Amino acid sequence: MKSNIFFISSTVSLILGTLIYVLFRTSNLKVFSWFEIMGIKLLNNNLRNWTVLITPKLSEWFLFSFPDSLWVFSYVCLMLGIWKGAISTPNLFWIGIVPFIAICTELGQLIGFVQGTFDFLDIIFYIIGGFMPLLLFKKSITYNLKFLQHEKKH
């Protein structure tokens, strides 16, 4: 079934992005207090204690930009799975909304409208995460975009 590849890819990239975030990022992130509220004690975990030791050896792009790219990738794969690999004019909005919001949020950080630190590399990784499913699964995707069909007629 064509949708399975999208759902599997979505799940794997979501888990991988979350693992990078939880295992390698600083413990003062808000997500760790949320885990504590839920009774999940990640900060004293043996695996996390080991990964904290190797974190200084990892590239900044891997720690800070790559997880976000994986989450955007996950979302696009999920949307493609929901629509069974069909991209049409009506569902194009839903496929592209999260990558668009991610890029706008980063630009909002640039102008001080959104809290956080602007990083142009984040924008590049959002774009990669948004387009990579279209490239990786191009044989499983069908396009039914009215504006493209209109151009072909003329």
List, for residues 17-55, the tens digit of each pLDDT value: 999 988 898 877 777 788 778 887 766 778 888 888 899
Q: How confident is the model over 121-136, as a mean pLDDT?
A: 97
DSSP class per residue in 37-94: HTT---TT-HHHHHHHHHGGGS-HIIIIIHHHHHHHHHHHHHHHHHTTTEEEHHHHHH
Backbone φ/ψ region at 87: left (φ over 0), alpha (ψ -120 to 50), beta: beta
The CB-side HSE value for 150 (13 A sphere, CA atoms) comes to 4
Pick the more confident residue, 13 or 21.
13
Domain boundaries, the chain: 2-153
Pick the more confident residue, 7 or 41.
7
The whole-chain average pLDDT of the chain stands at 89
Whether pLDDT at 124 is above 90: yes
Can you say how many angstroms the Cα of residue 59 is from the centroid of all Cα atoms in its chain? 18
Whether pLDDT at 1 is above 60: no
